[in-house]
Structure 1
């Protein structure tokens, strides 16, 4: 990896030297049995993943730098040295093409945190297979461009996100809330929706159907996301209420709070 970084720093000349030094296969099969030789995988290399569990960091590097195809029994897990399992990440056209080709629910996933900010990588979510009993401490998505969540909006099937403790959706990401499915017996501790532009909520408000958010202990709506209260099916949604339940709506702050 150090040699690769040095070569990249020298531009095309350094990369050309690296290519002549190592084999650059057109195809490469990555399984739990890793090769003993050193290979250089490029954007022209088709990497087939099968029968392997890998860190989320390695998976996204391959997604960005190579042509990825998904075989059987592929799963990603947390990267021990990283604070986040999935985090803010730039995205290339190559990565977008890889995501489009991956079949839904084809990648097993066991992550404690999902945090994606303003990136097309959010569209990877329908491709992940997250078990209902998978404990996700934080599920955070923020999208300032509709393209960041276009792949999710085009999906008809709901997306299982496991058993989420805290969910935070911002801007365009709030519009995918009806497509997310938390474990039916699990209560979300905090649901926060925030949208600072009307265009971020227009899609939801235009829908005639109401939607259910499941069991929620505390809910916080900020900005134009306050209007989501009108679209929630309160008969099927359970927001915990007690004698000291707080319901506030401030025109100045444009915020509503529901909680126990």
Structure 2
């Protein structure tokens, strides 16, 4: 017999972001199902009170069907194999899932000298195709969250470019802290906002030179080396978050990237 799925959320998968999200939702009273490919991670999730599954995205078996016995699915994968999503879709359609949060990326946009919003020109990224086949499905409602680069916890920006030769030192940085990722997902659920797409990025956009030099200094690692001839470079984009803040009345926990570096 299936359990009630009225307050059940499945998270595929529980990596760096997904595990922290699972713990947060569990604390808020949800029944949380978390999927991982690691037996050690499965044990750790179980110890924290999460209904843990050891699953691979491509294994569409009874365990996957049990995992999908929830009202909400957070699809939080780095897998870029479009065929796997096409194979997964019929299984999802036959599940009790009624609401899907698809974690995507601001990498879907082309580089632009103008600020990039949700209506800006898209690239040929596979994430564009993944978004297309997962949204507008009559079996469930979808919210697409396009996250910029992620940091927080043990993911320290100072290590991202440490000691590397970097082009485009004057180009703007687009990042978002994990705390805000989790809060935004919570707001989507609590406010019941679906059939929308949001850019999720911090308010400020310091230059690569300013941000990553300071980030490296703060944790005592080799500084990045910037190609002075590149300057701003034509390969950049500045992601705007105005729709997110307006539609969800959202206030960032970490709106200022330079100030956020003090956390490390």
- TM-score normalised by the chain length of structure 2: 0.27
| Higher relative contact order (CA closer than 8 Å, sequence separation 6+) | 2
Higher strand share goes to which structure? 1
Higher helix share goes to which structure? 2
**Which of structures 1 and 2 has the bigger CA Rg?**
1
- TM-score normalised by the chain length of structure 1: 0.27
